[in-house]
Structure 1
Amino acid sequence: MKIVVFGLTVSSSWGNGHATLWRGLIRALGAQGHQLTFVERDQPWYAENRDLHDLPGGRLILYRDWSDVLARGRELLDADALVVTSYCPDARAAEALIHERGRGRTIFYDLDTPVTLGRLAAGEPVDYLPEDGLGRFDLVLSYTGGPALQALRDRLGARRTAPLYGHVDPAAHRPVPPRDLFRGDLSYLGTYAADRQPTLDQLFVEPATRAPGQRFVLGGSSYPADFPWQPNIWFMNHVAPPDHPAFFCSSRLTVNVTRADMAAMGWCPSGRLFEAAACGVPIVSDDWDGLDRFFTPGEEILLAGGAQDTLDALALSDAELARIAAAARARVLAEHSSEHRARELVGLIESADDAQAAAA
Structure 2
Amino acid sequence: MKIAFYGSSLVSAYWNGAATYYRGLLRSLAEKGYEITFYEPDVYDRQKYRDMEPPDWCKVVVYEGTIDALKAAARQAAEADIVVKASGVGFQDDRLLEEVLGNASPRALKIFWDVDAPATLAELKSDPDHPLRQALFKIDLVLTYGGGDPVVNAYRSVGAAECVPIYNALDPQTHHPVPEDSRFAADLGFLGNRLPDREARVEHFFLDPASRLPGRRFLLGGSGWQDKPMSSNVNYIGHVPTRDHNAFNVTPMAVLNISRASMAENGFSPATRVFEAAGAGACLITDHWEGIELFLKPDEEILVARDGQDVAALIAGLSRQSAARIGARARMRVLADHTYAHRAREVDEIFRARLGARMEAAK
Identify whether the pair has TM-score above 0.5, normalized to the shorter chain.
yes
| 1:208 to 1:74, Cα distance in 2 relative to 1, 3 A | closer
Question: Counterparts of 2:97 and 2:17 in 1: how far apart (Å)?
Answer: 21
CA-CA distance at 1:180 after TM superposition: 0.8
In the TM superposition, 1:95-106 aligns within 5 A as 95-102=98-105, 103-106=107-110
Residues 143-167 of structure 1 show CA distances to partners (whole Å, capped at 9, x for unaligned) of 1222111111112x11011111112
SS in 2 for 1:46: coil
| 1:61 to 1:309, Cα distance in 2 relative to 1, 3 A | same
Identify the range of structure 1 (333-342 vs 23-32) with the bigger mean alpha-carbon deviation: 23-32
Percent of aligned pairs sharing the same letter: 37
| 1:122 to 1:357, Cα distance in 2 relative to 1, 3 A | same
Residues 86-137 of structure 1 show CA distances to partners (whole Å, capped at 9, x for unaligned) of 02334434444445442421111011101111223444986xx436141211
Q: CA RMSD in A?
A: 2.2
| 1:235 to 1:124, Cα distance in 2 relative to 1, 3 A | farther
Equivalence for 2:154: 151
CA-CA distance at 1:264 after TM superposition: 0.7
Amino acid at match of 1:329: R
Question: Counterparts of 2:53 and 2:165 in 1: how far apart (Å)?
Answer: 29
| 1:41 to 1:253, Cα distance in 2 relative to 1, 3 A | same
Equivalence for 2:290: 289
CA-CA distance at 1:332 after TM superposition: 1.1
Equivalence for 2:183: 181
Equivalence for 2:260: 259
CA contact (8 A) 2:124 2:133 kept: no
In the TM superposition, 1:210-229 aligns within 5 A as 210-223=212-225, 225=227, 227-229=228-230
CA contact (8 A) 2:218 2:233 kept: yes
Equivalence for 1:116: 120
Identify the range of structure 1 (196-205 vs 241-250) with the bigger mean alpha-carbon deviation: 196-205
Residues 54-74 of structure 1 show CA distances to partners (whole Å, capped at 9, x for unaligned) of 224211001124545655777
CA contact (8 A) 1:26 1:56 kept: no
Residues 162-200 of structure 1 show CA distances to partners (whole Å, capped at 9, x for unaligned) of 111112211111010111111111000111123223332
SS in 2 for 1:84: strand
Question: Counterparts of 1:2 and 1:101 in 2: how far apart (Å)?
Answer: 12
CA contact (8 A) 2:124 2:132 kept: no
Equivalence for 1:306: 307
Segments of structure 2 that go 5 or more residues without pairing to the other structure are none
| 1:335 to 1:77, Cα distance in 2 relative to 1, 3 A | farther
Question: Counterparts of 2:104 and 2:199 in 1: how far apart (Å)?
Answer: 44
Question: Counterparts of 2:166 and 2:270 in 1: how far apart (Å)?
Answer: 11
CA-CA distance at 1:29 after TM superposition: 2.2
Amino acid at match of 1:176: V
SS in 2 for 1:284: strand
Question: Counterparts of 2:258 and 2:23 in 1: how far apart (Å)?
Answer: 23
CA contact (8 A) 1:40 1:63 kept: yes
TM-score, with structure 1 as normaliser: 0.91
Equivalence for 1:348: 350
Question: Counterparts of 1:101 and 1:80 in 2: how far apart (Å)?
Answer: 9
Segments of structure 1 that go 5 or more residues without pairing to the other structure are none
Equivalence for 2:203: 201
Identify the range of structure 1 (240-249 vs 7-16) with the bigger mean alpha-carbon deviation: 7-16
Equivalence for 1:268: 269
Question: Counterparts of 1:245 and 1:234 in 2: how far apart (Å)?
Answer: 18
Equivalence for 1:242: 243
Question: Counterparts of 1:181 and 1:112 in 2: how far apart (Å)?
Answer: 32
SS in 2 for 1:274: helix
SS in 1 for 2:45: helix
CA-CA distance at 1:248 after TM superposition: 0.8
| 1:200 to 1:90, Cα distance in 2 relative to 1, 3 A | closer
| 1:34 to 1:354, Cα distance in 2 relative to 1, 3 A | closer
SS in 2 for 1:23: helix
TM-score, with structure 2 as normaliser: 0.91
Residues 266-290 of structure 1 show CA distances to partners (whole Å, capped at 9, x for unaligned) of 1111011011000100111111111
Residue among 159, 163, 166 paired with 1:164: 166
